[in-house]
Chain A
């Protein structure tokens, strides 16, 4: 059972602006039957260049229908320049928020708007492939879309990205690429002094965290560990003292060593034990 806001329920049950615009200025079609949701948005401009009519047809769940209805309300009376400013987050906010797994419905709204404006300006049918390279083949999501979604929604994990645009939600083969895009986008965001670490800096930081945060805890129980190798995000360690023969050393490895390194160095760190 989804916890939809009253506004979502209202727009789902009594959607505004359903149907087709006669002689439209722009038409945007996104999504597909196979993906489980699709939206066709049509608008008409008046003499002053404002959207005088906007209508939609949607195949999808309650929040997809509500997002489409909200979008048409939001763009009415706006110039294209003003309409272009609308982000998926604006659509979700207009509805009082969406469950996190449903954020992609608002993204579909924003995409349909882009597609319709593109159609008005070029006379061509908007095609995702024009906008970059498809990364997630299950849901046909391109790198450009992913970048936009990461930027507009402050995405830091693949899970958040999947909620927002479905990328990675099918077979999962593209997840390493998605991680790379998220890491790159977030790295671009941070001030220059926080640019990605060199491997040497990373090793120093790992040693530092082990010394400060991990070793003292292990020593309390008569144990210790040494850093054996760092290869990319994989950190190899060897347990010493009481830890070496301890039956719960695997728990220590994941819940203490890996957890501390994830917190202090990088979320991508994986710790492995070398016997």
Chain B
């Protein structure tokens, strides 16, 4: 059975080019980039090349604005905790109700330590409540952390507008762009963004590497102390093979993103239209035109997501769900709850997230199998007569 992998917002396949580029650093080129001798010291230039490749993809003015980390979560922690603690006075921390735990976690950490925390809501289509933001930013200097795109629905937030509001009152704006990087074009040097997080394994590099863009002049207190690496912002010997891999992944995205997005979006749209047509009681979560090109979140009324997911899995189809039962918590997805998705739909949401490695045959397979599964589970449901 062929695996149909449509869970790319969770993690992605490592690109062949990325793996090939990493291998020399797992074999002969194992030196320490901080060494004085040539054997080690020569490695430094590869790290710097990777830094340039990351900077190019996101449009950073200077590669030195890129700090390598171990993952997107570390980037978010460094930006939020390190950013807040480096400000002269404890800032007003502003975030949203639909953030990834790697953002809400450090925000709550700050709240527990006496920082004022405000969480912005979203409307029923998942659009951020910027009116409340406009009011809240006036209440003193803020550290505002809002995701560029939502991992569950793919909703894209207006980071330019958010950054302007935050900057008008002297605040700092961090964008968690883990889901946006490599999926939509961006140019941070021209946007009012002070810090931006990204993760390697969401863009076909391996797990275990991420980066934080820190605009020149933005102060951040390091989380990991004890070394001069990354200009003192992140101590620890560089994870050279993975940094090289991240660089190549960024380079691939810079080169191919535009054309691949057209193809991926066409597949996503076909999948979505097909499911909404063939499955009665299927509804789209999110505002159709304001989403990442690869993500589709659909609720199937009166049935439960984990059951759908396991039956898809039997057919080799890998997706994910915002259902409570699948996560082990009792509450369904905080994102769908923030969007006030109704009770009959909130437990039956399935997220499909595509990548450049998906094919039209994958879409065909889902369009054949999923309507049958929905039908089967509806037959079991007491709410469908």
Q: A70 CA to B311 CA in the complex, in Å?
A: 19
Residues of B contacting A139 in the complex (Cβ-Cβ under 8 angstroms): 330
Q: Shortest Cβ distance from A59 into chain B, in angstroms?
A: 5
Q: Shortest Cβ distance from A116 into chain B, in angstroms?
A: 13
Q: Shortest Cβ distance from B23 into chain A, in angstroms?
A: 30
A12-B310, A39-B382 known; A34 vs B343 contact (CB < 8 Å): yes
Q: Shortest Cβ distance from A71 into chain B, in angstroms?
A: 14
Residues of B contacting A101 in the complex (Cβ-Cβ under 8 angstroms): 328
Q: A166 CA to B324 CA in the complex, in Å?
A: 11
One digit per residue, 1 when the CB lies within 8 angstroms of any chain A CB and 0 when it does not, for chain B 241-283 equals 0000000000000000000000000000000000000000000
Q: A161 CA to B382 CA in the complex, in Å?
A: 26
Question: Is the pair B323, A169 in contact by a Cβ cutoff of 8 Å?
Answer: no
One digit per residue, 1 when the CB lies within 8 angstroms of any chain B CB and 0 when it does not, for chain A 54-66 equals 0001111111110
Question: Is the pair B383, A59 in contact by a Cβ cutoff of 8 Å?
Answer: yes
Q: A59 CA to B311 CA in the complex, in Å?
A: 15
A33 within 8 Å of B (CB atoms): yes
Q: A100 CA to B113 CA in the complex, in Å?
A: 33
Question: Which residue in B325, B343, B347, B382 is a CB contact (below 8 Å) of A57?
Answer: B382
A111 within 8 Å of B (CB atoms): no
B80 within 8 Å of A (CB atoms): no
A106 within 8 Å of B (CB atoms): no
A36-B324, A36-B347 known; A65 vs B307 contact (CB < 8 Å): yes
In the complex, which of the residues B314, B324, B332 has the most CB atoms of chain A within 10 Å of its own CB atom? B324
Question: Is the pair B325, A61 in contact by a Cβ cutoff of 8 Å?
Answer: yes
One digit per residue, 1 when the CB lies within 8 angstroms of any chain A CB and 0 when it does not, for chain B 300-332 equals 001111110011001000000001111011111
A13 within 8 Å of B (CB atoms): yes
Q: Shortest Cβ distance from B339 into chain A, in angstroms?
A: 15
A33-B343, A59-B304, A62-B306 known; A38 vs B330 contact (CB < 8 Å): no
Question: Is the pair A33, B347 in contact by a Cβ cutoff of 8 Å?
Answer: yes
B379 within 8 Å of A (CB atoms): yes
One digit per residue, 1 when the CB lies within 8 angstroms of any chain B CB and 0 when it does not, for chain A 74-101 equals 0000000000000000000000000101
Q: Shortest Cβ distance from B383 into chain A, in angstroms?
A: 6
A32-B343, A33-B347 known; A170 vs B302 contact (CB < 8 Å): no
Residues of A contacting B347 in the complex (Cβ-Cβ under 8 angstroms): 33, 36
Q: A95 CA to B34 CA in the complex, in Å?
A: 58
Question: Is the pair B329, A65 in contact by a Cβ cutoff of 8 Å?
Answer: no
A25 within 8 Å of B (CB atoms): no
Q: A38 CA to B302 CA in the complex, in Å?
A: 10
In the complex, which of the residues B344, B380, B383 has the most CB atoms of chain A within 10 Å of its own CB atom? B380
Q: Shortest Cβ distance from A137 into chain B, in angstroms?
A: 13
Residues of A contacting B306 in the complex (Cβ-Cβ under 8 angstroms): 61-62
A12-B310, A61-B323, A166-B330 known; A36 vs B382 contact (CB < 8 Å): no
* Residues from 144 to 174 in A contacting B, C-beta threshold 8 Å: 162, 166, 169-170
B359 within 8 Å of A (CB atoms): no
Residues of B contacting A12 in the complex (Cβ-Cβ under 8 angstroms): 307, 310
A59-B303, A64-B304 known; A38 vs B323 contact (CB < 8 Å): no
B381 within 8 Å of A (CB atoms): yes
Question: Is the pair A170, B325 in contact by a Cβ cutoff of 8 Å?
Answer: no
Q: A64 CA to B331 CA in the complex, in Å?
A: 16
Question: Is the pair B383, A18 in contact by a Cβ cutoff of 8 Å?
Answer: no
A53 within 8 Å of B (CB atoms): no
Question: Which residue in A15, A33, A99, A170 is a CB contact (below 8 Å) of B380?
Answer: A15
Q: A65 CA to B376 CA in the complex, in Å?
A: 12
One digit per residue, 1 when the CB lies within 8 angstroms of any chain A CB and 0 when it does not, for chain B 353-385 equals 000000000000000000000000001111100
Residues of B contacting A13 in the complex (Cβ-Cβ under 8 angstroms): 311, 314
Question: Is the pair A38, B343 in contact by a Cβ cutoff of 8 Å?
Answer: no
The 10 closest A-B pairs by CB, nearest first: A169-B330, A61-B325, A57-B382, A34-B343, A40-B382, A61-B306, A101-B328, A33-B343, A36-B347, A59-B381
Given A59-B383, A61-B323, A102-B325, 13 more A-B residue pairs with CB atoms under 8 Å apart are: A12-B307, A32-B343, A33-B302, A33-B344, A36-B323, A36-B347, A37-B304, A59-B304, A60-B307, A60-B325, A62-B310, A99-B328, A169-B331
The 24 sampled A-B contact pairs (Cβ below 8 Å) are A15-B380, A18-B380, A33-B343, A36-B304, A36-B324, A37-B325, A38-B383, A39-B382, A57-B381, A59-B304, A59-B381, A60-B304, A61-B305, A61-B306, A61-B307, A61-B326, A63-B325, A64-B325, A65-B307, A99-B328, A101-B328, A169-B330, A169-B331, A170-B330
